């Protein structure tokens, strides 16, 4: 599986659009978050332009992927006969049984879903998903954010997708229809209760109209790939760095109740505190003053 995954990665780097940042070499999660932040800032300086960000939630995306559709997509991408044969041997007729209260039920066939924990699974998923994303990119009725010659319609990290729509009243429903068409073939289903919209520069009446047309909830704040976002980027520090500092203080207070050696305390800082900070430093590269670092130093030294 690892060998197949590594070989597939090399091919997909050239065939998957750069706005998909999941599980491919030289692509990072921070590219998606930074792009979304930059677009929100762009609309700060262009208040006459209306924007909606649609944060799509797919119901059990990996579990519902159709094998038939996946195999057709792999064949179309011409990965070679040997690779196709190996894939068909993995995703061929399979049966399983479920144990309930110690007893097995009757066996049934599995016809959808990629294997959990397999290094090949996310690569197969983004290969299939590229069919949908490419249709959206090429659909001229769906208008994204155009900056100079570059148009941004979406950002994706595997199945974590954000669709970027300008003047959304007309193109919004078209986007949902494209997703619905794809879902009927590939097995992708939108969870409308968890799919949310973040809007920028829309009046209350336009927001109400958009919500009714789309059938989705408009919210003021959302967490995307571990980052809290609002329509105004001025709150990035407060929503992320300051709240993390408070969380670190509470976590270390709980750790402090235990009898931990000096080496154990150092290990706790390395494993519990530093990874959270480093993630924010990479994904939200904003200016932090001395007060923030003094507060962090005070919390850690007290521990």
pLDDT of 115 strictly over 90: no
Question: Which pLDDT band holds residue 212 (cuts at 50, 70, 90)?
Answer: very high
Q: Where are the domains of the chain?
A: 1-229, 235-302
What is the three-class DSSP state of 56?
Answer: strand
Percentage above 90 pLDDT, the chain: 74
> Confidence band (pLDDT; 50, 70, 90) for 229?
very high
Q: Is the pLDDT of residue 235 over 80?
A: yes
State the Cα–Cα distance between residues 295 and 290, nearest whole angstrom.
8
**Interatomic CA distance for residues 167 and 52, integer angstroms:** 8
**What integer pLDDT is reported at residue 80 of this predicted model?**
84
Residues 6+ apart with CB under 8 A from 69: 128, 185, 186, 187
**CA 55 – CA 162 distance, rounded (Å):** 5
CA-to-CA separations, 9 to 6, 14, 89, 132, 227, in angstroms, rounded: 5, 9, 20, 19, 27
Of 198, 125, 117, 188, nearest in space to 157 by CA: 125
Look at strands 103-104 and 108-110 and give their pairing: unpaired
What is the per-residue pLDDT for 81? 86
Six-digit token string for 176: 């949902």
Q: Give the pLDDT band of residue 137 (cuts 50, 70, 90).
A: very high
Handedness of CA 128, 92, 57, 183 (dihedral sign): positive
The pLDDT score that the predictor gives to residue 77 is 85
Burial class (CB in 10 A: 0-12, 13-18, 19+), 276: middle
Task: Name the percent of the chain lying above pLDDT 70.
Answer: 100
User: Model-level pTM?
Assistant: 0.92
The H or E element that residue 223 is part of is strand 221-224
CA distance 191 to 189: 6
pLDDT in tens, 77-94: 888 888 888 888 888 877
Average pLDDT, the chain: 92
- Spatial contact of 8 and 120, defined as CB atoms under 8 Å apart: yes
Q: Check residue 91 and give its pLDDT.
A: 85
Which is nearest to 175 in space by CA: 140, 148, 206? 140
pLDDT at residue number 26: 87
Q: Give per-residue pLDDT as tens, 154-171.
A: 999 999 999 999 999 999
Q: Are 217 and 209 in contact (CB under 8 A)?
A: no
Is residue 99 pLDDT above 80, yes or no? no
* Per-residue model confidence (pLDDT) at position 116: 83
d(CA 246, CA 295): 10
Strand 108-110 versus strand 154-157 pairing type = unpaired
- Give the integer Cα–Cα distance in Å for 200 and 145: 12
SS (H, E, C) 177-206: HHHHHHHHHHCCCECCCCCEEEEECCCHHH
Spatial CA neighbour of 179 closest among 191, 197, 167: 191
What's the Cα-to-Cα distance from 289 to each of 63, 132, 232, 286, 295, rounded to whole Å?
45, 43, 20, 10, 10
The three-state secondary structure class of 42 is helix
Average pLDDT over residues 195-205: 96
How would you list the strands of the sheet with 217-218, edge to edge?
154-157, 160-166, 51-56, 196-200, 217-218
**pLDDT tens, position by position, 249-303:** 999 999 988 889 989 999 999 999 999 999 999 999 899 999 999 999 999 988 8
- pLDDT class of 103 with cuts at 50, 70, 90: confident
Where does the pLDDT of residue 53 fall: very low under 50, low under 70, confident under 90, or very high at 90 and above?
Answer: very high
The residues that bridge with 66 in the sheet, in sequence order, are 112
């Amino acid at each position: 599986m690892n060998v197949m995954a590594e070989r597939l990665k090399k091919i997909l780097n050239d065939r998957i659009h750069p706005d998909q940042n999941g599980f491919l070499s030289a692509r990072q999660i921070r590219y998606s978050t930074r792009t979304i932040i930059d677009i929100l800032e762009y609309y700060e300086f262009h208040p006459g332009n209306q924007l909606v960000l649609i944060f799509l939630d797919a119901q059990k995306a990996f579990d519902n992927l159709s094998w038939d559709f996946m195999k057709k997509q792999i064949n179309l991408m011409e990965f070679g006969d040997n690779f196709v044969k190996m894939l068909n041997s993995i995703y061929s007729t399979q049966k399983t049984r479920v144990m309930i209260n110690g007893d097995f039920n009757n066996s049934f066939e599995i016809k959808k879903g990629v294997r959990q924990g397999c290094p090949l699974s996310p690569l197969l998923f983004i290969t299939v998903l590229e069919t949908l994303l490419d249709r959206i990119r090429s659909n001229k009725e769906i208008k994204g954010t155009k900056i100079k010659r570059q148009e941004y319609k979406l950002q994706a990290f595997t199945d974590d997708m954000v669709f970027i729509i300008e003047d959304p009243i007309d193109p919004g429903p078209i986007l949902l229809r494209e997703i619905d068409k794809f879902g009927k073939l590939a097995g992708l289903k939108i969870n409308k209760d968890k799919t949310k919209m973040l809007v920028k520069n829309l009046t209350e009446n336009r927001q109400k109209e958009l919500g009714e047309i789309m059938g989705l909830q408009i919210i003021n704040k959302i967490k995307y790939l571990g980052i809290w976002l609002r329509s105004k980027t001025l709150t990035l520090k407060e929503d992320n760095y300051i709240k993390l500092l408070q969380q670190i203080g509470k976590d270390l207070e709980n750790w402090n109740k235990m009898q931990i050696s000096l080496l154990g305390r150092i290990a706790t800082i390395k494993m519990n505190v530093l990874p959270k900070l480093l993630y924010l430093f990479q994904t939200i590269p904003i200016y932090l003053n001395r007060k923030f670092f003094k507060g962090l130093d005070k919390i850690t030294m007290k521990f």
